[in-house]
Amino acid sequence: RKEVEQDPGPFNVPEGATVAFNCTYSNSASQSFFWYRQDCRKEPKLLMSVYSSGNEDGRFTAQLNRASQYISLLIRDSKLSDSATYLCVVNEDNAGNMLTFGGGTRLMVKP
């Protein structure tokens, strides 16, 4: 069983649509959680951290459910530039030493 699981997609959506990605993790002792964005042939870039209370950054909203070991990312009003692979990342210790990456969910926003 993979430690961090994501639906690989691709999610094909029109501009302006709202799209949601989900992620589950297996280690209940995981400490912190992130969504990264990775463009083709580029390094991952931190999109946002995910907090238990839920957090929002512009069009992006992240939620964490520790009881269900489930993380989500909601993108509202999708832009063409949102097309990328979104990686769910779990930090399994306090010192940032054990990042485990999900397989990523590919998003394609069409005009």
Q: Which residues of this chain interact with another protein, rule CB under 8 A?
A: 32, 41-46, 87, 91, 94-104
Answer for the pair 62, 73: CB distance below 8 angstroms, yes or no.
Answer: yes
Q: Which of 2/79 has CB closer to another protein?
A: 2
Q: Which of 54/96 has CB closer to another protein?
A: 96
Among residues 34, 106, 109, 111, which one has the least CA distance to residue 78?
109
Q: Which of 20/46 has CB closer to another protein?
A: 46
Among residues 17, 12, 10, 11, which one has the least CA distance to residue 78?
17
CB of 37 to another protein, least distance (A): 11
* Bridge partners, 50 (sequence order): 33
